[in-house]
């Protein structure tokens, strides 16, 4: 069927719009979520009981590298990481004894809760003559909940003026954001083993938070196959390797973990990696090693030459979004491989209708802020975004000469979600006998729309304007304006969703 073209422009400037339609899964009526998976809310005591098990800390059986890890790597977003880093550095200081640290810790606990983890709480430890808190988020394993992989980084910061000005972007807002981003990405993903996401406090004062957490793990007999910590993972200096991995050469139970992180860093993040040849020191992996748990530290290559180390100038401008993302991917793919990916990658597919054209090829579908491969529609408008980790994503559709559309889609393990949509031309009005555009469409909100819309456009000079609403079949729904005089400049049309009688 030949589609109805947009109205030809006469001496009257015409704004012709299309009511977009889309489908999200079988039987949906335009809701943005596609069969979202249930998230459990397990009371803290139940979670604790599930995590009790034998004290033995052993390396899990080797796993074959699988496409699910590629999906996990693609889901890590530098935009999300940097947005969270901006939030952390908005606190004037995160020095552990200050109210500002307490506020940041409470906010991060709330963040873990909002992500739908099974448990989120503040864990007390003693330091500096007072009681302060680690921040803990727990994702229970579905097969071996008593086996716990720990992802950690310290939340606190320090500077010459720690009580008032210690932004701590690189040290260690970067590592904290890595933990928070992995919690976001992995929250909806079923895993064999339990994962703890921990933001430690009191690291700068002497590893107080991690010491307390390691002591609790030992006293309660936790089975911890691996502890992966991040400290200073965002300052990118081109000299040398991009990532240092640090374990304990005197402890065999950490060397396999160091090598595992190295392998995942090279395979999934494309990083150059240097294995530190001596025993680890000075960060939150040490207390776990001291109590017999396999542990290691990921740190950037030039941490010792960072010019704003422990200074008030340790601000977000020093942090490389790409290096922060890549080291987060290295740690996250290792952790997911150890925890046991128990899911099938998801798929979002459908058709894009380029209104006014018979050939629907050339539209680009993508998931902004991720590394997932985009797809381009064929002549029938078909596309597929493949190998997606379970989660919620913004799907963006773009085509030359058309208004873009973005909507959120939630997919679960193994799901094939259908998203069909229509793109409308970015209208430009031209007077009869003139080749000079006098109307430019500025925006359409919301986009896509079903029940109402606001259209903003610009006229180069005054004149009569007509505005009409068409549906996806090319039928006229409503004439908003008919030869109505409008002045030059920015203009707005609003449609309330009603059709002409």
Query: Which pLDDT value is given to residue 221?
Result: 97
CATH class of 29-36+344-413: mainly beta
At 212, list the tokens: 């307390």
Predicted confidence band of residue 292 (pLDDT cuts 50, 70, 90) = very high
Task: Report whether pLDDT(296) > 80.
Answer: yes
Residue with tokens 């597919």: 349
Span 85-139, pLDDT tens digits: 999 999 999 999 999 999 999 999 999 999 999 999 999 999 999 999 999 999 9
CATH class of 91-339: alpha beta
Q: Measuring CA to CA, how many Å separate 372 from each of 51, 76, 105, 322, 463?
A: 34, 10, 32, 15, 46
Percentage of residues of the chain with pLDDT beyond 90? 55
Average pLDDT of the residues of the chain: 81
At 375, list the tokens: 């797809």
Q: Measuring CA to CA, how many Å separate 22 from each of 16, 267, 406, 425?
A: 19, 38, 12, 17
Span 424-477, pLDDT tens digits: 887 655 444 454 555 565 555 555 555 667 777 777 778 787 777 766 556 677
Span 67-82, pLDDT tens digits: 588 899 999 999 999 9
DSSP letter, residue 461? S
Whether CATH 2.60.40 fits 1-20+424-501: yes
Q: Are 79 and 170 in contact (CB under 8 A)?
A: no
At 44, list the tokens: 């803290």
Task: Report whether pLDDT(384) > 90.
Answer: yes
Residue with tokens 């942090």: 319
Query: Which pLDDT value is given to residue 32?
Result: 30
Span 138-175, pLDDT tens digits: 999 999 999 999 999 999 999 999 999 999 999 999 99
Span 328-381, pLDDT tens digits: 999 999 999 999 876 778 899 999 999 989 999 999 999 998 888 899 999 999
Distance CA 241, CA 302 (A): 9
Distance CA 340, CA 193 (A): 6
Max alpha carbon distance in the chain (Å)? Answer: 85
Task: Report whether pLDDT(12) > 50.
Answer: no
Query: Which pLDDT value is given to residue 310?
Result: 97
Among 152, 169, 171, 164, smallest CA distance to 99 is for: 164
Distance CA 215, CA 124 (A): 12
Span 234-287, pLDDT tens digits: 998 776 678 888 887 666 678 889 989 999 999 999 999 988 887 777 899 999
Query: Which pLDDT value is given to residue 171?
Result: 96
Query: Which pLDDT value is given to residue 19?
Result: 40
Q: Are 356 and 16 in contact (CB under 8 A)?
A: no
Span 42-65, pLDDT tens digits: 234 444 444 444 334 334 433 333
Among 293, 217, 250, smallest CA distance to 51 is for: 217
Looking at the DSSP bridge assignments, the partners of residue 478 are 469
Q: What is the DSSP string of 465-496?
A: EEEEEE-TTS-EEEEEEEEEEE-SEEEEEEE-
The answer to whether the pTM exceeds 0.75 is no
Q: Same CATH fold, 91-339 and 1-20+424-501?
A: no
At 235, list the tokens: 């300052």
Query: Which pLDDT value is given to residue 470?
Result: 66
Return the domain boundaries, the chain: 1-20+424-501, 29-36+344-413, 91-339
Span 393-416, pLDDT tens digits: 999 999 998 988 988 999 888 889
Average pLDDT over residues 303-317: 91
């Amino acid at each position: 069927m030949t589609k109805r073209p947009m109205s030809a422009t006469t001496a009257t400037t015409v704004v012709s719009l299309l009511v977009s339609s889309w489908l999200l899964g079988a039987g949906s009526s335009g809701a943005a979520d596609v069969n979202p998976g249930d998230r459990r809310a397990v009371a803290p005591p139940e979670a604790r009981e599930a995590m009790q098990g034998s004290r033995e800390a052993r390396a899990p059986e080797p796993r074959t590298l699988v496409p699910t890890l590629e999906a996990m790597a693609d889901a890590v977003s530098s935009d999300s990481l940097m947005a969270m880093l901006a939030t952390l550095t908005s606190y004037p200081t995160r020095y552990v004894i200050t109210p500002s640290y307490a506020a940041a810790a409470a906010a991060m606990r709330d963040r873990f809760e909002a992500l739908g983890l099974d448990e989120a709480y503040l864990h007390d430890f003693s330091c500096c003559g007072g009681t302060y808190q680690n921040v803990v988020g727990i994702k229970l394993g579905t097969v071996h909940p008593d086996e716990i992989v720990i992802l950690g980084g310290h939340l606190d910061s320090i500077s010459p003026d720690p009580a008032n000005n210690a932004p701590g972007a690189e040290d260690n807002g970067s590592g904290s954001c890595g933990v928070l981003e992995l919690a976001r990405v992995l929250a909806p993903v079923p895993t064999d083993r339990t994962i703890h996401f921990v933001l430690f406090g009191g690291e700068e004062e002497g590893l107080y938070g991690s010491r307390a957490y390691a002591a609790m793990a030992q006293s309660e007999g936790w089975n911890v196959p691996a502890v992966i910590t991040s400290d200073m993972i965002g300052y990118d200096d081109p000299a040398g390797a991009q990532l240092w991995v640090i374990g304990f050469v005197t402890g065999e139970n950490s060397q396999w973990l160091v090598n595992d992180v190295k392998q995942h860093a090279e395979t999934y993040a494309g990083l150059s990696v240097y294995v530190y040849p001596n025993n680890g020191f000075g960060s939150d992996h040490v207390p776990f090693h001291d109590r017999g748990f396999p542990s290691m530290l990921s740190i950037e290559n030039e941490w010792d030459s960072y010019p704003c180390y422990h200074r008030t100038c340790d601000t977000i401008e020093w942090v490389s979004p790409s290096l922060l993302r890549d080291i987060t991917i290295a740690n996250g793919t290792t952790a997911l491989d150890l925890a046991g990916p128990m899911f099938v990658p998801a798929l979002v597919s459908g058709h894009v209708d380029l209104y006014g054209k018979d050939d629907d090829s050339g539209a680009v579908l993508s998931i902004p802020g991720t590394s997932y491969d985009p797809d381009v529609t064929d002549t029938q408008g078909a596309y597929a975004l493949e190998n997606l980790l379970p989660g919620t994503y913004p799907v963006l559709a773009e085509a030359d000469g058309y208004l873009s559309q973005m909507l959120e889609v939630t997919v679960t393990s193994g799901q094939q979600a259908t998203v069909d949509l229509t793109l409308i031309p970015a209208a430009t009005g031209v007077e009869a006998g003139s080749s000079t555009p006098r109307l430019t469409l500025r925006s359409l909100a919301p986009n896509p729309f079903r029940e109402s819309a606001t259209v903003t456009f610009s006229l180069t000079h005054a004149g009569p304007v007509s505005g009409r609403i068409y549906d996806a079949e090319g039928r006229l729904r409503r004439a908003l304006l008919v030869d109505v005089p409008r002045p030059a400049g920015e203009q707005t049309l609003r449609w309330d969703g009603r059709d002409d009688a």
